[in-house]
Amino acid sequence: MVYLDILFYYNINQLKRHHKLLVASIAFGCYEILCYTIVEKKAFLVRAMSDKPLLDIQQQVENGISILKQGGIVAFPTDTVYGLGASANNRQAVERVYKVKERPRNMALPLLLADTSQITNVAESVPPIAWLLIRSFLPGALTIVLHKSSSVPDIITAGGVTVAVRIPAHPVPVALAQGLGTPIVGTSANLSGRSSPLTADEVYAQFGDKVDLVIDGGKCLGGRESTVVDVTGKTPVVLREGAIPKEEIERVCGNIVVKEGLR
């Protein structure tokens, strides 16, 4: 299933580039594929299965899963920017992420999940407002800060009591998390303070051979980091405005607080 999702994702984005098909989201993109192929479904699938670059994406993902299981670190495309990942349950791998990024150890790392069922595994509790945001924006470019559960290692949260989670609207990180069977660290694949990469070449330019694998999935279509919202208090707090405008968050939540400096 993940295999076909990856093929479908890259085919629909090729179609959008070449035929200027318009989709509102990845979900609509999948729907559009089904509509587009209802008559020529068999022929379309044959073309997808015989397209070497698309098959290469699947092989890269399989290699990535194997590396993550062995405690390695992998860079990969997402719906926002390229991410740098490691198994959330492997302390040494997470330490490598901090080291490679030159990230201060007092800065927590976000987690990427395969689906909503994993949220309750990493969060102590999920308030109703969080579920409202989840239903409205995930999978997508929203990171939600929740009270962490005891299963989340302190190295992920920098010793804090909260954890940031996101479900990407992109099949590659989802396939990695599914294949690993556990959430993955999902920070941007850049040196701290540098711009976030949108292509595999930009990842190599910053990291060189310091990561075990860079999955080349082409240019990220989002081009901007996720919006981060803290829902651990009575009122949601927008900590970072990214791909989703704060006005959209306010529309869903009603009342929000915007971190000082974002206004």
The per-residue pLDDT for 73 is 98
Number of Cβ within a 10 Å radius of residue 91: 15
The residue type of 116 is T
Q: What pLDDT is recorded for position 260?
A: 78
- Give dist(CA 10, CA 198) in Å, integer: 16
Rounded CA gap, 87 and 92, in Å? 9
Nearest to 179 by CA among 63, 65, 55: 65
Whether residue 165 contacts residue 119, with contact meaning beta carbons closer than 8 Å, is answered with yes
pLDDT, tens digit, 9 for 90 and up, residues 19-66? 333 333 333 333 333 333 323 333 333 233 334 466 699 999 999 999
Rounded CA separation 166/182 (Å): 13
Instruction: Report percent pLDDT > 90 for the chain.
Output: 76
- Report helix, strand or coil for 213: strand
Q: Shortest CA distance to 211 belongs to which of 58, 71, 55, 90?
A: 71
Those residues whose C-beta lies under 8 Å from the C-beta of residue 27, and which sit 6 or more positions away, are 139, 169
- Structural domains of the chain ordered from first start: 1-50 (no CATH), 70-258 (3.90.870.10)
Contact 173, 186 (CB under 8 A): yes
Q: Rg of the Cα trace of the chain?
A: 18
In a 13 Å sphere around the CA of 81, the CA atoms on its Cβ side amount to 20
Q: Which stretches of the chain score pLDDT less than 50? A: 3-4, 14-52
pLDDT for residue 2: 54
pTM: 0.82
pLDDT attached to residue 63: 97
Task: Output the pLDDT for position 234.
Answer: 93
